[in-house]
Amino acid sequence: MKHVKLQRVLLSVLILVIVTLMFLPVLTQVTSASLDENQGGWPMFRYDSRHTGYTASSGPNTNNLLWKYQTGNAISSSPAVADGRVFVGSEDHFVYCMNSTTGDLLWKFETESQIQDSSPVVADGKVYIGSYDNYLYCFDAATGTLDWKYETGGQVSSSPTVVDGKVYFGSADGYVYCVNAATGDSIWQTSTGSWMSSPTVADGKVFIGCSQPQIYSPSFYCLDAEKGAILWSVEAIKFGASFISAATVVDGKVFVGQPGIPGWMYCFDENTGNLTWSYQMEFPVFSSAAIVNGKLYFGANDNHVYCLNAADGHFIWRYQTDGPIYSSPAVAGDTLFIGSDDNYVYCLAAENGTLLWKYQTEGVVHSSPAVVDGKLFVGSNDGYLYCIGGEGSGAQLPSYVLYVAVAAVVVVVLAGVYLYVRPKKKGQV
């Protein structure tokens, strides 16, 4: 009788394991989504205000073109995706809003000059973007109606960041600006250098680089997000005259590339500005870094995509494209996406840099990819915004989670079986 019961229990274990395997992908999607603050979108340059460049949403498994939309000039702006809409600027002076599923145009707005490099940010139903006409613009995300615009003294190629009802951005007039996101009223402005990178906002601080013509002046700053006061800075003579790429701030560290010859990737302490480590390359670094699970990813003008250990800067792997890389990587799940001046968008395995697929556009790709629900959105200098999609969709966790979960279920159930069938002492029920 006991053997019959044991067979039934073991059969139950087998059924439970099979059912667990069937539903674990769904469970991991839900779990991953709960950890993803921007689930269902890519609302700003580099995904979030820390500029991590990472989403738990999976990317496309193949290079299947779903749609492309033609603008009137090159797209160096990086798309933002929110609420079923994709937003991007073009050097034809227009800001565009398309349906993210079909690519149909929903609205467009013409600024007074080209939109170069500045990428839109979507927050609370509004879209913010800079233009070479010296203005930062705010639109209604649904209709494209202009809410307000803020004039600076120089071109705005900086990509704005919105945090706690404030918009942070830089201008070629040498100032970092903070304005009220609802009204466009000035909150503070701080003088730094000339050309501004895109601000990273984390832990009550603003991190931003500039192009500094005077070598004894600072070229990278940490500002107080509330008042704009300079908390620390690094001198151009020590670390280079320009920091064009946006910083990435994670776990108390600031990661930022330097476009000199040689080029560098630096890691600074977030609170003091002290140098933690540096990694040297032969050519400049314009690409901003993505960081996931202790690994730092970025592109360089030596045609390579790099992966370093974020803790100490040690080399892990690199992948060679056929052109310089100005695009910044997007990491979705366990895959990495990045553009190159060889006209291709690349999909690599984040673990080891293995090429999974690539897609050819008709122009260099300075735009940085946005990845949402199995789709990749990216612009090209051929004037098109591309949407590439494959089999993957939704959020995902690394595959090892499946194995750990199944093993845990098996261990628990087998422990129960052992307690059930083990010999019992006299008087034990």
- The pLDDT value recorded for residue 429 is 43
Nearest to 255 by CA among 117, 119, 264: 264
- The pLDDT value recorded for residue 331 is 98
- The pLDDT value recorded for residue 193 is 73
Choosing among 2.40.10.500, 1.20.1080.10, 2.130.10.10, 3.40.710.10, the CATH entry for 37-394 is 2.130.10.10
- The pLDDT value recorded for residue 213 is 62
- The pLDDT value recorded for residue 401 is 42
- The pLDDT value recorded for residue 141 is 98
Give the residue extent of every domain in the chain: 37-394
- The pLDDT value recorded for residue 1 is 52
DSSP 106-159: EEEEE-SS---S---EEETTEEEEE-TTSEEEEEETTT--EEEEEE-SS---SP
Nearest to 279 by CA among 263, 295, 293: 263
- The pLDDT value recorded for residue 395 is 40
Query: Which amino acid, 340?
Result: S
- The pLDDT value recorded for residue 196 is 77
Radius of gyration of the chain (CA): 24
Residue 186's Cβ-side half-sphere holds a number of Cα atoms within 13 Å equal to 10
Q: Which residues of the chain have pLDDT under 50?
A: 6, 9, 13-14, 17, 19-21, 23-37, 392-406, 411-413, 417, 419, 426-429
Residues in CB range of 71: below 8 A, 6 or more apart: 88, 90, 92, 94, 96, 383, 384, 385
Return d(Cα 37, Cα 48) in angstroms, integer: 9
- The pLDDT value recorded for residue 5 is 52
